[in-house]
Copies of this chain bind each other. A is one copy, B any other.
């Protein structure tokens, strides 16, 4: 008898930076400690009534919850075409495939643009699940480091060309960025576009946070860039936009017909994205514009509070991000992973503590991010203020205990 061995990828795949401390959080809760979660981008804003109304009405028309077409239910595809048109992006229905959340859009993109052994260039810090998706695809991330002092904006062309190899298949970026909140300028996007064109690479743009920009900033789309039809791929979450993360509806779009044909074959393998959620999300296009405006204004207030309070903490600093609902903060001299665990295992004030994501999981370069944490400001202001008070007390105590 021989015991089977796990795959290398199964053994070495990184734990999600946002979720790896979940067992420690559950243990804290089991001790009666309330854990205020700043680790996950799970908005607290209510899912629009349009979603719930469509879901409730569903069984009257379709008492059997059947598979959806692999590319998406027609009413959702129509609704997305309309949504993108309003965002200045002209897409034909066949240039778009509905995915199981934004994550599947990333997976399909990597699978369609590269084979095992291929490399994907991405600015770091990056959304930590990029590493997991790349591992699933048998590919590796080649990072280009960005820095908090620069607001995590991109370095020059040389920094990218230094990591391009014959194995490079694509450039992958998020703007507005997770975990950085950086919104790339037109010039930065043009640089990425030039690199893609000059080196024959796909340009994969994670635009999940398109609507969440502050102080009048706007996020340009990869599909706004001219002359990149064969290169540009848009990766999106639809359910996140409408505060319905659990719906798991995203999409992938490109003007490259061969690329979309490969994506459709991949989509057929998993048959269908969730059908009921698709019907609900399709209805969200009719959410009044005020819904998004209210959400944006609320996030901007939250961002302002969090950034101000973080910078007031001893040895903690961050720049004000222009988008998304995350902030990376540097905590000088603190081992962020140890600190994040300690928050859950040894710290509490009046029965409460906070949960944050340690920074190292958002970098591929060993050693980077060890003194950084990522916070998601997706809780109401009052709770967020309390979390900041707890975090300030924790930083002070952690430093005092000289860990």
Q: Which A residues contact B (CB, under 8 angstroms)?
A: 1-11, 13-16, 19, 22, 40, 42-47, 51-52, 55-56, 59, 63-70, 100-101, 103-104, 107, 111-118, 129, 132-133, 135-136, 138, 169-170, 196-202, 230-231, 239, 243-248, 258-259, 262, 265-266, 268-277, 280
Contact = CB atoms under 8 A, between A and B. Distances in A.
8 contacts: A4-B200, A6-B113, A9-B115, A65-B245, A100-B270, A100-B274, A129-B269, A248-B271
Contacts of A198: 1-2
Contacts of A266: 10, 13, 132, 136
Given A132-B265, A245-B272, A262-B13, A51 B64 contact: no
A246 B270 CA distance: 11
A178 B101 CA distance: 28
Given A55-B276, A269-B136, A169 B46 contact: no
Closest 6 CB pairs of A and B: A246-B275, A2-B200, A10-B262, A132-B269, A116-B116, A16-B268
Given A245-B65, A245-B272, A230 B3 contact: yes
B47 A244 contact: no
B277 A16 contact: no
A280 B231 CA distance: 40
Contact of A269 (B16, B201, B244, B270): B16
Nearest to A279: B246
Given A112-B6, A258-B6, A64 B40 contact: no
Contacts of A51: 65
**Max chain B CB contacts within 10 Å: which of A9, A112, A230, A259?**
A9
A5 B168 CA distance: 11
A219 B114 CA distance: 40
B136 A265 contact: no
Given A136-B266, A269-B129, A197 B64 contact: no
B201 A7 contact: no
Contact of A4 (B44, B103, B117, B169): B169
B101 A2 contact: no
Given A47-B59, A276-B277, A270 B138 contact: no
B246 A274 contact: yes
B7 A66 contact: no
Contacts of A231: 4
A112 B274 contact: no
Contacts of A100: 100, 248, 270, 274
A274 to B, nearest CB: 4
Contact of A277 (B44, B47, B243, B274): B274
Contact of A202 (B4, B259, B265): B4
B133 A116 contact: no
Contacts of A275: 245-248
Contact of A15 (B44, B200, B268): B268
